[in-house]
Amino acid sequence: MPKVISYTPAWLSKPNPGHEIFTSKVMSTQPASSNGSSASIKRSAKPGPRRTIARRGTEVFIAVGREIRWADLVYLKEAWEDKQSRNSFGKEKGGDGDNQYEGDHAQGYRTIKTQVAEDIRQLIISPHANYIAILTTHTVHVAILPEPSLLTAADTAPMKLKYYTLGPTTHVTSQWGIASALWHPLGVNGTCLVTVTEDAIVRLWELSIADRWSFDRPTLAIDLKKLADGTSVDQDFGASVHGTSKGFSPDSFEMEVASACFAGRGSGGWSPMTLWIAMREGDVYALCPLLPEKWSPPPTLIPSLSVSIVAKVAALEDEQGASPQSKLLAQQQLEWMSEIDNQEPLHSEGPPGEPPAEVYTRPGKPGRVPKLQGPFDLDLAPEESEDELDGLLSDICVIGPKMDADELMFGEEDDLELDEVDQEGLSVGIVCLLTTSGRLSVCLDLDGVEAQWLPKAKEKRLRFVEDSDPPSLLTFEVLDTSRGLEVWEGNWPVFSHDVNSRYSFYITNTSSVTFISLTPWVFRLETELNEATAGTDFRIGLLAQGQSSLRERLLTQNSNDKSTPLAASAVIRDPDLGYFLLTATSHGPIALTFEAPDIHFDLDRRSRSPTYDPEPDKPLIFFEPRPCYEPAHTLQQSSAMPTFIERQRHGKYKRLLQEEVRLSPATLTIITEAHKVISEETHRVGTAAAELFRRCEKLQLDLKNHIHKARDVATRIKAITSDDVEDGQSVIAANEKVEKRIHAARERQTELNNRIEDVRRKATRGSNRELSDKEKAWIDEVQTLDNKTDTKQAGGNALAKNSKEPWERFNEVKMLKEKLLAEINGMEGEDEVATPQNVKVPSEIRKAKMAQVMGLLDRESALVEAAKNRLERLSLS
């Protein structure tokens, strides 16, 4: 979660040029876009997205009325710092005329004149940052962006770019307004623009500077209302040349487009060529595959799709109960992929620094117009609210599934080099829906959107067969980002992508900016889906039931002032600017500087220079940052009474201004109109004065809080330096206190280590860990000895061995023992009976022989007992 360390810096505040480029020089009570007609005022007040800030690196393009301001934020910051340094060292240092930040040199910002007739509502820069699309409520212009070097040129006059009007007979004020304009992620060198109008018509424009006709007519136009009712791919789903009627109809009411988007170019599966459309009334549709005539895929897209399609066709052939619709879809995808495989891609030179792009031609079969998938069923969706604004969608954001490089390169020797960001995350897509009331719905696309086409006209048996299971999205989480007073009909929240993670974004509505991060549960859910161990259902249930996403409100404006909504946030991360969020109103910019996230470098892999000097550690921030107070813009506006009086002098009541005040209907009319003007001004001035009074009171409270914190810090410092000891008490040196704390910390660390070691031992005993090599060798040795000593197991093979086994030797010893005992007993009987009296054996000889025999018997008995005891020990073990 980003931590705000400062708000709008000084170089973006008054009276510096960084502040003026965000404001209009015309200060009047009437909107700058008004040309006197009520239709223009009505279109200007129409609710819709305000993406008036676009960036290219550290350069920003700001739409102010009908103009575009172009500035380099780093240049503005350095110019302000240079000015401050010259002022601090005296004026004599600033006398050098060669200073690049002097008034005679470049200022780091320019004004760009445009050809639009109304206020600019959106600015969208192409992927390679060489084109910019300029959108009003009904028109689209494409301009070629100049080089950044022009910012530092000596000429500071307003600049005129080369403009092209997109669809001069299509996107006009007499037709439906424009809901979204997107640069196709698979366009050749980022030159394919997709426009989606409010009447659900999608147009693809393949732009080329060499061909001006490419700006007049789209290469592909699809009417989603016709496509929703289509039954055959051979039908005509193109948009009407004369436009559609603006009268009421169920289709125009339910299929009024709120927003559309693509997933990232590096997403897996069919995501890069899937257009998601969010309807104002709450329906969500998908169009896949939506491709221009010439398209340039990333290196991994076609191989991954080819592997998945072939695997799907093989699985359906082996499956017995596969439906005809599934088999038809698989055959259509295989036919589509076969045509791509048969092509020989062309190589197109990209912008400087970019590798050449491989260009393919869009397959003609099964058809160039895909099937409209939807509306999607939202499973586990929240209950319908009584507030109508909870069901009106304003924006959609899709995060595609990650690219599975291991599955794609299975069996290959080479490793595939992918962006580390694309390899991390969830293997399923995430669809985020945002309503006018600020309600955010985070949905999971578990089934995954695949390419689909309508059947051909000759396939009558499948033409009218509806899918048994309509597409669905699983609602994972629902969050509220707006407060009660901030919800109104003109509110239009929008998404802004973060630069650190594709699973975090910012939501900007009329008066607030909120940070949302899905990272706490995305990686945990991916682990559970991949491992599928015991208890997975329970753990996934805990993830779904708990509030896992991070949500933090970063900025809150005055919700009562609805005439100055916030522009969609632009997030920048640069070494010179830091981690930076920029938004603006019509009265000036608003910036938030975040604490830079930790970046861990592999110190073993990178080599440092011998003269490497690490940056000093930044001081700790002990205070809570807060935005500086700026007086309300109402206090800077001039009164409208002089204009009112001047208008009355040329009106029909001009005679009354020169006469005495008399009670008459004409006088009452003038006083009533004057009261309206004065009452509105006094109300605005009173509100601004009340806000100033509240800020003064808050300043006193903040000052008391700062004094309390300073006193607390001083007390802690005195406690460390032993300056807080009263008279009569023993003085404890600071070193002794520190040593005691270190000793206590070491004892605590030793105790924790002992506890961890005890837990580790208990866990080792209770866990079935793998045996070591020595333990395996010991088991083999015991098993071999058991086989040798077990007569039942080794009886059949004992005779075939040359060497005698221990059990054979044991039996042989027993037989020898019995034989010797029998022989001894027989010899004793023969000596008594058959020995003649004249033959006398000396007693010493008999005793020696008996002692020898008994010694042999004792030895054999000891061997038998030892073998017996060893066998008993082996059997017990």
CB-based contact 106:100 (threshold 8 Å): yes
Interacting residues of 821 by C-beta distance below 8 A, sequence separation 6+ = 857
CB-based contact 474:444 (threshold 8 Å): yes
Would you state the pLDDT for residue 805?
Answer: 67
Would you state the pLDDT for residue 274?
Answer: 95
CB-based contact 405:425 (threshold 8 Å): no
Identify whether 2 is preceded by a cis peptide bond (ω within 30 of 0): no
End-to-end CA distance of the chain: 59
Would you state the pLDDT for residue 464?
Answer: 43
Structure-token pair, residue 480 = 């509220």
- Helices 773-789 & 843-876 angle (0-180, nearest 10): 130
Would you state the pLDDT for residue 796?
Answer: 47
Q: Tell me which residues of the chain have a pLDDT lower than 50.
A: 26-37, 92-95, 411, 413, 460-467, 600-612, 794, 796, 798-801, 835
Would you state the pLDDT for residue 606?
Answer: 41
Per the DSSP assignment, residues forming a β-bridge with 859 are none
Would you state the pLDDT for residue 659?
Answer: 82
Locate the domains of the chain by residue range.
1-165+567-600+618-624, 639-677, 779-789+801-825+842-877
Backbone φ and ψ of 866, nearest 5°: -65, -45
Residue 270 burial (CB count, 10 A): 24
Sign of the alpha-carbon torsion through 272, 273, 279, 284: negative
Would you state the pLDDT for residue 28?
Answer: 36
CA angle 522, 519, 591 (to 5 degrees): 150
CB-based contact 287:275 (threshold 8 Å): yes
In the structure, how many helices (H) and strands (E) does the chain have?
Answer: 19, 33
Structure-token pair, residue 313 = 């066709």
Would you state the pLDDT for residue 766?
Answer: 67
CA distances 586 to 22, 107, 128, 488, 705, Å, are 7, 22, 29, 20, 34
Buried b (16+ CB within 10 A) or exposed e, 707-731: eeeeeeeeeeeeeeeeeeeeeeeee
pTM over 0.85, yes/no: no
Put residue 630 in one of left, alpha, beta given phi > 0 → left and psi -120 to 50 → alpha. beta
Would you state the pLDDT for residue 32?
Answer: 41
* Residue 333 C-beta-side C-alpha neighbours within 13 Å: 26
DSSP 10: G
Three-class secondary structure assignment of 782-851: HHHHHHHHCHHHHCCCCCCCCCCCHHHHHHHHHHHHHHHHHHHHHHHHHHHHHCCCCCCCCHHHHHHHHH
Would you state the pLDDT for residue 769?
Answer: 65
Beta pairing, strands 109-113 & 159-160: parallel
Task: Compute the distance between CA of residue 859 and CA of residue 532 in angstroms, rounded to an integer.
Answer: 65
What pLDDT digit, counting tens, does each position of 342-383 carry? 999 998 887 777 788 899 999 988 888 999 998 999 988 888
Interacting residues of 135 by C-beta distance below 8 A, sequence separation 6+ = 120, 121, 122, 123, 124, 178, 181
Kind and range of the H or E run holding 694: helix 665-721
Would you state the pLDDT for residue 104?
Answer: 57
CA dihedral 831, 837, 841, 847 (to 10 degrees): 50
Over its C-alpha atoms, the chain yields an Rg (Å, rounded) of 43
What pLDDT digit, counting tens, does each position of 86-142 carry? 877 665 444 455 566 665 566 788 899 998 989 999 999 999 999 999 999 999 999
DSSP SS3 for 758: helix
Would you state the pLDDT for residue 602?
Answer: 39
* Among the listed residues 583, 591, 587, the one whose alpha carbon sits nearest the alpha carbon of residue 54: 583
Backbone φ and ψ of 725, nearest 5°: -80, 130
Interacting residues of 667 by C-beta distance below 8 A, sequence separation 6+ = 656, 661
Structure-token pair, residue 692 = 């100033």
Would you state the pLDDT for residue 26?
Answer: 40
DSSP SS3 for 228: helix
